[in-house]
Chain A
Amino acid sequence: MYDFTYHKAASLDDAAKLLASAVDAKPIAGGQSLLPMMKFRLASPSDLVDLGTIAGLDRIEAEGGTLTLGAMCRHGAVCTSEVVQKTLPALAHLAGLIGDPAVRHRGTLGGSLANNDPTADYPAAAVSLGATIVTSKREIAAEDFFTGLFETALEPDEIVVAARFPVPEKAAYEKFRNPASRYAMVGVFVAKFPDVVRVAVTGAGASGVFRVPSFEEALSKDFSADALKGLSISTDGLAGDIHASAEYRAHLVGVMARRAVAAANG
């Protein structure tokens, strides 16, 4: 790992100032993606601004049909939170599928969203639920937030503060793990709202999370696993690698979507 200057941020403002003042500063949250990348020298920030020392960024609140999670909510806390389990159990379930217990003790929601790993779990939930990402500068709709492989709409000195998840009528997440990394080979999050159904897929896309309009249309008419029978997605834009071909991933999208709908109907 290359050397860097370490800063403990006292507040959000302080963190934003520190980020803006250095050449190539990056925030560090749980460090579960950033530190391994720095060890491999895939990232070499000049400065690290630690968000872990800022108070109040780990709030969990449910109010008026919206679940708000602070950026520093650890995966383990989301998974075991009674509030999340009660208002959006599919999200608690998703958080419990991330990595392993030690990773879940450190890794955060904000870090996962900002990293936008194409095989990460949270981006699927954010897009399917139509979440709003609240930053230190503005509010960004999830679909505009994720812009490509490890790319987001965030500016270099912009910090994710929270994410607001509208509470759906029904939702579920089904993940087919990559047997080596345990990240998603294919993960499908399905959410049904009174006026819309959204299906978001992670793991399969060559440039990250995407929606499946044909599945959404069928499910809007009939929210049942049977409604997806015979539907499939094209391999265009899907990832194909030593772990799984694009064809296999396309097949898994259908299987995971049907399982997710069945689970949502419980």
Chain B
Amino acid sequence: MSDFTNELVQHIINGVSLGSIYALIALGYTMVYGILQLINFAHSEVYMVGAFTAFYTARYMGLADKPGFLTLITLIVAAMVVCSIIGVSIERFAYRPLRRAPKLNILITAIGVSLLLQYSGQIIFGADPKVFPNVLDDQTLATLGTAELRLFDVTILGVAVFFMAVLTYMINYTKTGKAMRAVSTNWTVASLMGINVNRIISMTFIIGSSLAGVAAVLIGMKYPKIDPLMGMIIGMKAFVAAVVGGIGSLGGAVLGGLLIGFAEEMVKGYISSTYADAFTFAMLILVLIFRPAGLLGKPSQEKV
């Protein structure tokens, strides 16, 4: 195989792996937007808290030096639980009191909560980066020329696909999932069906936040350096992914995540890693110009 093909295959593997993590985070943005028409800026900080939860869980449960799937699963569960609690609390105490307030007020509150968590994180965890525990021993599973298929990438994709499948099932076939779709179409009528709208909104935050927790552990595993501001850039990218895919659309979030991850790898590989982030935002601008509702989104009259 030519060097070119080898390299391309490697970039594709990396792109899919990174992209599926973006997709997990993007799902949280898009779900909350679908139900509240709110860009939950604090979502990236929920993700950050997930990473630190896993970090401290590993330390206090003595898992920091016990790599393996059991450790991975334990840390994912811990991050999911804590992220859900944080996400639900943010909704309950910051957004719910403003339910009938103008959208702009809620948006500003979201930015406020995001900053609050960033600075609280710096105070509580310290501003210096920490080294994420060794969750899994990476190894090469297969080679194709010089391109390697590594355990990390397969695990990341496998975990992401698993949670996306669970989410798809939940949204489409369970009673709560149907209620969520009803609430995202029309709150008032949904409440006339006997649906407790506040409970459904809480559920949405639980699901979105716990997916951010999953993403945090996966990122920590592959790029083991975490700090309280780690949510900013990746949160932005996942948000862009959600918008590119069509905010409010679950399929769009996954597609957008994969596209952004893939594009980022390509730019890093063939142009320069300095331009990777710029390229992400260039993509956002292009999509907003040519397809404002996103790739899979439905055009709508009013957006925040």
Q: A and B: partners?
A: no
| B residues at A contact (CB < 8 Å) | none
